[in-house]
Structure 1
Amino acid sequence: MPIRLKLTLWYSGLLAVTLLVLGVSIYTFVNLNTYRDAKAAAMEGLNSNVRYSLPPDGDPRGIEIFFGLGARFDRSVFLQAVNYETGGVVRSQNLQDNNVKLPYPKQSNGIKEGYVKMKVGDTPLLAYQYPIVLVGKVVAVVHSAVITRQEAQYLTDLRTILIFSSVGVVLLTFVAGLLISRQALRPLQGIIQAADLVRDGSNLSVRIERKGPNDELGRLTDTLNGMLERIETTYNELDEAYNAQRRFVSDASHELRTPLTTIRGNIELMDKMWRPSLIAASEDGGDGAMPVITPQHAELTREAMQDIADEAKRMSRLVNDLLSLARADAGSVMEKHVQPLQPLVEDVARRAQMLPRQAEFRIGDLSTLEGAEVNANADYIRQLLFIFIENAFKYTPSGYVELYAKRASNQAGVVIKDTGIGMNSEEIPHIFDRFYRADVSRGKTSGTGLGLSIAKWIIDEHGGSVEVSTRESEGSTFIVWLPIAFPDQSNQV
């Protein structure tokens, strides 16, 4: 059953019960007040016009009852007395004139004094019933009655009006309740449609139209729209993560396949080169004969072994980078200690001088790091700086690479500046993506495209940040900012 029908039925039922109680109360109140004059006339007629006498011997059959209707009343009063001992019935003159006998109880047992309703033909009457008791026994009963045709008709009309008006109000309320509840619950239809679309996965960008006041349904709509927005954002992030993972696996496979292909090619070359010599030596000298090593064979062997060693180192670096990223994805927590930053940067600068390069390496002013301590892992900080320095050497075929430091607020910055090939502004948002390499350098310089991804992870783990400024053919500048654990206010600039 739809919820709007349930609500309408509940409201209509509650209204019906309310109208029933109200109608019964009104009818009872009007009924009491309508018969008030009739009751007064019947009581006064009994008190003013009924006389009876008991016989001296106490024989109930000798009771005499007299009706005196000499007094005038606002309405006609009909009097009747019944003697249960003799069976005689005494009626007032107006009853005799109309040849009418009022109904009375056939048995005297259980007769009580009070008002009773009776009917003669189609004429309704209200009578005051008065039993005459002798020696603990009802021997006669007297009725003083008045006609209540007008009161009965009035109450009948009132009852009819109350019933039909109540039924009409309930029906109108039911119809109006259906319309109102339909309008009030209209936002639920939008909610259902949006939920169906989300369930089917056809459109996660759907939003529920916001109408009406800021009531419960309005707030529910806002809450669901916020939830749908978060679901869409999460879904898109998962989709992007899935695509990134696919690219990662594809690129990693490609990067690993390249050195393996080189190694296999060199091994096959060595096999082809040495196999004829081994066969010839075996034919000439028999078992255990040594092949003839020519200068050409020795040179080719040395070159092949060098290629194998280089590609093995490349694979080792790639595997180490992949392991570092795997630890980052697994939520690996670095072990960090508060330590001075200046000795770490000076050690990296000293070792960087021995790296292979074509550009000049300049070590600038590092004194601004004096007294600066950071909560860091020394090994990862060294790896971080070497990544930026090696990248600068790699993409700077001429000119210079400079390393210096700066301070700002509660942070210490290490600057790596080069005059290399640079990048365009569209590439900057992607340089920290895994396996991403700028188009201007793709295929011209060796690398896996994982270094900056690892650097970004190290920076994030230390609560730092990185600034990048670059221009094509003019070089790039990277500033690695690390928060100072115990900043010395006097040294800040």
Structure 2
Amino acid sequence: MLAFFTVIMATLVIVGILFTQFTTKMIEDNTYHQLNRYAVAVAEEAMRFKADDGSFAYFDTKGLETDASLLEQQNINFTLYNADRKLVYPETQVKETANVTNAEWAQLKQHKIIQKRGAKQANPADNSAANTMDVMKPFFDNKNKLIAVVVTRANVSTVADNLDMLRKNLLIAFLVSVVVAGMLSFILSQLIVNRLRLIQLVTRRVAGGDYTAQVEMHRHDEIGALAEDVNVMTASLAAQEREIEEQEERRKEFMANASHEMRTPLTTISGIVEGLQYGVIPEDEKMHSYDLIKSEADRLTRLVKDNLDYERLRQNKVVLKKKEFDSVPVISNLLNQLSGKADVAGDEFKLNADSPVPVFADQDRFIQIIFNIVNNAIQFTENGVITIDAWREPGEAHYKIADTGIGMTTEQVDKIWERYYKADPSRTKKSESGLGMAIIRQLIEVHDGQISVTSAPNVGTTFHVVIPDSQKKTD
């Protein structure tokens, strides 16, 4: 409110001062112009010139009495001086007129017209002295010789009174404007304050944890833009809160799974070690016990390794060693390694790649990607077929791994990239951490590649991996 009031008051004061100054200057200029014309008229009335050569002859003051009477009615009088600075009219200075000083006379002889205000009158007690305006105008003959000086004086007390009245009216208008400005400032400030209070209430609700609060405001101005920003902020906080809650649920689930999975191998290892320590395990069973200890230790190692891999990928701390190689022999070797596991599940591999399929990637990470996808297909397929297609398209290598397993619902497909998610826990081996698909996606992203999946329950699942040739980018 104070800001609005200050701006309005400053504007009114500036406009009032400028208007007063402009009006005063205009009145003064008009008065000086009028006095100058009267001086010319007086000189033309009084001066007489010779007919033969046009030189000055004499002053004729007979008609000046009439002019003086007329001008006196307008509070104007005049004085006529000759070239010797002697008074021509009036013959005796019975009326109070302006006197010409030596300095002013010197200026008049140089063709200068003098305009001044507030000449002192003979009677010092007369306060109207400051309300006079004088014009001193010189006149010359055709030989540029000074003939006469006419001094016209106007008593501008009436004009001054009018200006005083104008100032009083302006003061009254100013006071009225102050009241109106105060009211307008209060109304405008309340409109803004009410809108800001609405935003304040919403921010307090957000500070209290209510991220569903929204500012209901549709004005297209700065405050409206601020309200929109607050709404965007609350929506973002609400989304983050939901994400945090989901992550917390996954973390709890993972901790429960991890605790269970760690407890089982640790219990197994502890029991076998205790049995070996006290000699309760027969000699012919000791090698089997050692194998179990190694298997359970490997299981713990994989669990820790998967978590470390995921965190490194998520924080972009994985350094890729890319090179170009033929991916077909790599995939063939990988299928040979997994053939035993596929035989147990009754699955059959089919590799469709008639020609070499070069790929530019980190070979170890490429193997990790294909291994996880194929291993996942074996895990969810029994007595089925797992088909791997590899081919080239301009600037990129394509790989499609399709199985005829149990498939997934649309909801399951949407969640398979989430950390710790297991599509079917009953079909997932106890050594699996639920990080495989999340790691695959991260690895493909650091290769600037793409992965997509299509699936249908009881039909099967197909993964499509695209890895671009980015060798030119790295040169």
**Aligning the two structures, in what range does the TM-score lie when normalised by the shorter sequence?**
0.5 to 0.7
- Identity among equivalent positions (%) equals 23
Report how far residue 341 of structure 1 moved: 1.8
Q: Within 1, Cα distance between the matches of 2:98 and 2:428? A: 125
Secondary structure of the corresponding residue to residue 340 of structure 2: coil
Secondary structure of the corresponding residue to residue 364 of structure 1: strand
Report how far residue 252 of structure 1 moved: 2.7
Number of residue equivalences: 413
Q: Within 1, Cα distance between the matches of 2:42 and 2:402? A: 125
Partner of 2:388: 404
Q: Within 1, Cα distance between the matches of 2:154 and 2:9? A: 42
1:262 to 253, 264, 268: 268
Q: 1:66-105 to 2 correspondence within 5 Å? A: 71=66, 73-74=69-70, 75-76=72-73
Q: Within 1, Cα distance between the matches of 2:399 and 2:24? A: 95
Secondary structure of the corresponding residue to residue 469 of structure 2: coil
Report how far residue 129 of structure 1 moved: 8.7
1:17 to 14, 17, 28: 14
Q: 1:110-149 to 2 correspondence within 5 Å? A: 116=119
Partner of 1:311: 296
2:340 to 315, 336, 354: 354
Q: Within 2, Cα distance between the matches of 1:152 and 1:297? A: 131
Partner of 1:212: 219
Report how far residue 434 of structure 1 moved: 3.1
Partner of 2:139: none
Q: 1:29-40 to 2 correspondence within 5 Å? A: 29-31=26-28, 33=30
Q: C-alpha root-mean-square deviation of aligned residues, in Å?
A: 4.8
Partner of 1:425: 410
Q: Within 1, Cα distance between the matches of 2:469 and 2:242? A: 37
Q: Within 2, Cα distance between the matches of 1:440 and 1:78? A: 115
1:485 to 465, 469, 472: 469
Q: Does 1:165 align with 2:173?
A: yes
Are the structure 2 counterparts of residues 182 and 150 from structure 1 closer, same or farther at C-alpha, using a change threshold of 3 Å? same
Q: Which amino acid aligns with 1:423?
A: M
Secondary structure of the corresponding residue to residue 480 of structure 1: strand
2:442 to 443, 451, 457: 457
**Once the two structures are superposed, what CA deviation does each residue of 1:460-493 show, in whole Å capped at 9, x if it has no partner?**
2333333333344x25323231235299xxxxxx
Report how far residue 180 of structure 1 moved: 4.0
Q: Which amino acid aligns with 1:483?
A: I
Q: Within 1, Cα distance between the matches of 2:401 and 2:134? A: 120
Report how far residue 315 of structure 1 moved: 1.9
Report how far residue 443 of structure 1 moved: 7.5
Report how far residue 360 of structure 1 moved: 3.0
**Once the two structures are superposed, what CA deviation does each residue of 1:63-82 show, in whole Å capped at 9, x if it has no partner?**
xxxx9996472345799x9x
Are the structure 2 counterparts of residues 486 and 193 from structure 1 closer, same or farther at C-alpha, using a change threshold of 3 Å? closer
| Preserved contact between residue 262 and residue 308 of structure 1 (Cα < 8 Å) | yes
Q: Which amino acid aligns with 1:165?
A: A
Partner of 1:280: none
| Preserved contact between residue 340 and residue 373 of structure 1 (Cα < 8 Å) | yes
Are the structure 2 counterparts of residues 207 and 254 from structure 1 closer, same or farther at C-alpha, using a change threshold of 3 Å? same
| Preserved contact between residue 387 and residue 401 of structure 2 (Cα < 8 Å) | yes
| Preserved contact between residue 365 and residue 405 of structure 1 (Cα < 8 Å) | yes
- TM-score, normalised with respect to structure 1: 0.65
2:423 to 421, 434, 438: 438
Secondary structure of the corresponding residue to residue 423 of structure 1: coil
Are the structure 2 counterparts of residues 259 and 127 from structure 1 closer, same or farther at C-alpha, using a change threshold of 3 Å? closer
Secondary structure of the corresponding residue to residue 436 of structure 1: coil
Are the structure 2 counterparts of residues 477 and 180 from structure 1 closer, same or farther at C-alpha, using a change threshold of 3 Å? same
Moved more, 200-209 or 430-439: 200-209
Partner of 2:24: 27
**Once the two structures are superposed, what CA deviation does each residue of 1:212-252 show, in whole Å capped at 9, x if it has no partner?**
34x55555555565555555555654565565455444433
Q: Within 2, Cα distance between the matches of 1:123 and 1:253? A: 108
Q: Within 1, Cα distance between the matches of 2:186 and 2:24? A: 31
Are the structure 2 counterparts of residues 160 and 28 from structure 1 closer, same or farther at C-alpha, using a change threshold of 3 Å? farther
| Preserved contact between residue 423 and residue 471 of structure 1 (Cα < 8 Å) | yes
Secondary structure of the corresponding residue to residue 463 of structure 1: coil
Note the residue ranges of structure 1 that are not aligned, 5 or more in a row: 50-66, 82-89, 96-101, 131-142, 275-295, 488-493
Q: Which amino acid aligns with 1:212?
A: R
Q: Which amino acid aligns with 1:338?
A: E
